[in-house]
Structure 1
Amino acid sequence: MEFLALILFVLVCLVLMLGYPVAYSLAGTSLLFACLCWMFGVFDMAYLHALPSRLYGIMTNQTLLAVPLFVFMGVMLEKSRVAEQLLTAMAQLFGRYRAGLAISVILVGMLMAASTGIVGATVVTMGLLSLPSMLKRGYDPALATGSICATGTLGQIIPPSIALVLLGDVLSSAYQQAQLDMGIFSPDSVSVGDLFVGAIIPGLMLVGMYLLYVLGMGLFRPQAFSRDTPGPAEKLRLGLLLRALLPPLMLMVVVLGSILLGLATPTEAAGVGAVGAIVLAVSSRELNLQRLKEVMLSTTKVTSMVFLILIGASVFSLVFRGLGGETLIEDFFAGLPGGVVGAMMLVMLVIFLLGFILDFIEITFVVVPIVGPVLLAMGVDPVWLGIMIAINLQTSFLTPPFGFALFYLRGVAPPEVRTSDMYRGVVPFIGIQLMLLAMLALWPELATWLPEVLYN
């Protein structure tokens, strides 16, 4: 009967590729398939009796309450022109040097990722603000678009990231399920705060590698910055720089610092961040009733999408388990050569390929609950697994021809920028991210050391 679970998974992927809404595809396909199997006596409807308790668990989950709060914070900061002010200040600081504008884009993108945690918002905002200026100053279109796309995807890994919030909740459930399968009854689990802390070092390393690449291009391939020549020293207006940098930096310190020091849970810190975003918008005189309505509407749409997908994924996981899908996955992983290493390589490859056609939300709610308990039962560290998955999804967001970041930027890029230029520009950044994945695979302590130091 286990092969029916595999058929269900393939059917769900096919329905998704046909363009139907993700939540309805997951729930509808699973329910129809379950009814057909029940009619032939190969599915026990008792599995679906657990659905009400699953839905009640979603409604009362305090961790998931951080999702609308972080989304509200990100959208509010996007609408209040924080990125525009940051880019103006950074361009004034670094614009006198070759590749200075590219450096400004990477640093501002890092701060926006840490402030909003939303990939699409960062890519679109940076594309509208910085791409015309980079092209005007003679940047190679490939380098300009590649740096914007790569920097925009930092929202996947730099906390507070919506992806890490969702991964933390799913991995917590997977960890508890793995312990139950092994007959271990322990209150220990993995939290969103653990993933936030574990992502700090890899996230900063990734930003540093981006900066090294851009600086190297400025030294060894200066023709990529044909008219970005150093100009006369402009008087640096310290007041402008401080007004642009201090508010988002203070918000980051308050949100992340409260989590790192154990003063607040991620949900409580998200509430503080949402209030802080409102304060920043008011202080910059960018908040009015119409803008507040836009922010609330965007937050409602994104939050509704996330929770509808989560409900559909709950239906899918129950039917998949009822058809013996977990046993199929366990037996398959057990037969792979290389043990844990072989299983991890296969899972990373599957997630990377699925990242071409599915968003990180679908992959988090559909794939991770299937493979997570099996990998965790094999002894994989949950924090390391979460960071590996997040960076893997970030890489798939960049990879042509289906990378989501490429589509986001294509929608706002000038017509003279060719799609082939964008594809060519992201290749070096994909290599950098794959290099970081390899480093994490060789030295898992890059992700696990800081949580162990702070919480043990």
Structure 2
Amino acid sequence: MTENYTSIYMFITVCGVLMLGYPVAFTLAGVALLFAAGGILFGNFDPSFLGALPGRLFGTMTNVTLIAVPLFIFMGVVLEKSRIAEELLSNMSRLFAGVKGGLGISVVLVGMLLAASTGIVGATVVTMGVLSLPTMLKRGYDPALAAGTICATGTLGQIIPPSIALVLLGDILSNAYQRAQLSMDIFNPKTVSVGDLFVGALFPGLILVFLYLVYVIGVAWLRPEDAPAAEEEAGISMLELCKGLLPPLMLIFAVLGSILSGAATPTEAAGVGAVGSLVLALSKRQLNFERLHEILMSTLQVTSMVFMILVGAAVFSLVFRGFGGEELIQHYFHNMPGGAMGATLVVMLVIFLLGFILDFIEITFVVVPIVGPILLAMGIDPIWLGIMIAVNLQTSFLTPPFGFALFYLRGVAPPDLPTSAIYRGVIPFIIIQLLVLSMLVVWPEIATWLPAALK
């Protein structure tokens, strides 16, 4: 049992070192290798587990699904740099001018469109914070409502396709599902694809957007002084509205439509999105060699970070298994009150707490490969589990005091906006997200019906 507990000590050590601010990828690999070296020295670790590392890395290099990651990142960065968000927000604000809470409604709708265009949480929060927060404060919006709306809509990129989180989750869960079936002596295992997760995330994402809108509209009617109508008259022609809305909508439909119709895999659709974003930027005359260089460098940096974390997580996962960590967790899960659902709720709580200190990429690469095969072997639906994890991580993005979205907004917010206002503003949206999580527990069909219907 000592070697089993060593795996838990290793996990706790990794969390502690990460809280000290060390780089995630090198922390995962470094701590794991140090424990492995100690295990070899004391004779309680089989070094053959590390011999599987080259095969793991080669599998990552040849994984077609993961090609979608840099392509979606590239698409998001191009759209961020081409001022499409600015034009969308301007047109929406003019459309809802004169309506109570009109600017807040515009922020939610534009945030949804940006989430469906970029799939990158940080980019959406920062972009919306720069563009809309000063305007909302200037027009008399309650600072807490303005900050909370921007943070919450910015995190929609976590759940609304094409989400980078769903791409990574889809690949990890597919491997976990196959391992779970093999452990049950199913030698022709089924898989869960990224496309399945994209389809399963549509209804939960739209429900979140609807509830956000209900909250903003409710505040505007119950407390008009917190979300006043714009003083200027609504003045936008249908031509101007279509000119601003159609290009990003066409790109979204080209990416998601090709996936949902089965005409393209998520990787192929990501290629369509990358090319389409370049066409949009060129059509708006927002692309030159200097900006293209900036876009490519930004894409390279984010992609390198993701794949370095993946390499570090592969080392950590192998060492964790070598110390018998999976058997220990499986033992506890099978003896836990409540069976599969009780184990799932414990995992959701752990992921929620880890979301305070780890980004969704680290949690996806470190935690999901450990608990995924065990939960799936207990009969949990892989699509439902993936959507639950995605919404859960989205909630942890918002939760004070360590939510990443709060830090993103704090970095671009005016100095006179108190941090306490940001914290107060996100509380109602956290409650909404917990409500959606509860709905998914009670009605799993919200996530599973559409993928099954389209097959």
Report the TM-score range of the alignment, normalised by the length of the smaller protein: over 0.9
**What does residue 272 of structure 2 align with?**
272
Q: How far apart are the structure 2 equivalents of 1:9 and 1:185?
A: 32
**What does residue 188 of structure 2 align with?**
186
- What pairs up with 1:3-402 in 2 under 5 angstroms? 3-225=5-227, 228-229=228-229, 231=231, 233-402=233-402
CA contact (8 A) 2:177 2:382 kept: yes
1:322 maps to amino acid: G
CA drift at 1:32: 1.1
* Partner SS for 1:287: coil
**What does residue 431 of structure 1 align with?**
431
CA contact (8 A) 2:177 2:372 kept: yes
* Partner SS for 2:287: coil
- 1:409 matched to 2:396: no
Q: Judge which range, 268-277 or 14-23, deviates more.
A: 14-23
Q: How far apart are the structure 2 equivalents of 1:187 and 1:272?
A: 30
Q: Judge which range, 213-222 or 314-323, deviates more.
A: 213-222
CA drift at 1:230: 5.4
- 1:2 matched to 2:4: yes
1:111 maps to amino acid: L
Q: How far apart are the structure 1 equivalents of 2:437 and 2:419?
A: 27
CA drift at 1:13: 1.0
Runs of 4+ aligned structure 1 residues displaced above 4 Å come to none
Q: How many residues align?
A: 453
**What does residue 420 of structure 1 align with?**
420
CA drift at 1:236: 2.1
Q: How far apart are the structure 1 equivalents of 2:394 and 2:349?
A: 13
2:161 maps to amino acid: P
2:212 maps to amino acid: Y
Cα deviations by residue, 1:130-183 (Å, 9 ceiling, x for unpaired): 011100110000000000000000000000000000000000010011111111
CA contact (8 A) 2:24 2:362 kept: yes
Q: How far apart are the structure 1 equivalents of 2:234 and 2:112?
A: 25
User: Could you say what the CA RMSD is over the residues aligned between the two structures, in angstroms?
Assistant: 0.8
Q: Judge which range, 179-188 or 289-298, deviates more.
A: 179-188
* Partner SS for 2:412: coil
Q: How far apart are the structure 1 equivalents of 2:97 and 2:423?
A: 26
1:115 maps to amino acid: S
Q: How far apart are the structure 1 equivalents of 2:229 and 2:41?
A: 73
Q: Give the % identical residues.
A: 69
CA drift at 1:232: 5.7
CA contact (8 A) 2:203 2:446 kept: yes
Q: How far apart are the structure 2 equivalents of 1:229 and 1:201?
A: 30
1:157 maps to amino acid: I
Q: How far apart are the structure 2 equivalents of 1:432 and 1:112?
A: 20
Unaligned runs of at least 5 residues, structure 2: none
CA contact (8 A) 2:181 2:189 kept: no
CA contact (8 A) 1:97 1:231 kept: no
Cα deviations by residue, 1:60-95 (Å, 9 ceiling, x for unpaired): 000000000000000000000010000000000012
CA drift at 1:374: 0.5
Cα deviations by residue, 1:235-276 (Å, 9 ceiling, x for unpaired): 322222111100000000000000001000000000000000
1:453 maps to amino acid: A
Q: How far apart are the structure 2 equivalents of 1:167 and 1:62?
A: 14
Cα deviations by residue, 1:266-294 (Å, 9 ceiling, x for unpaired): 00000000000000000000000010001
Q: How far apart are the structure 2 equivalents of 1:409 and 1:230?
A: 24
Q: How far apart are the structure 1 equivalents of 2:407 and 2:57?
A: 33
CA contact (8 A) 1:51 1:315 kept: yes
CA drift at 1:229: 3.3
Cα deviations by residue, 1:13-70 (Å, 9 ceiling, x for unpaired): 1111111110000011101110111111100001111000000000000000000000
CA contact (8 A) 2:115 2:124 kept: yes
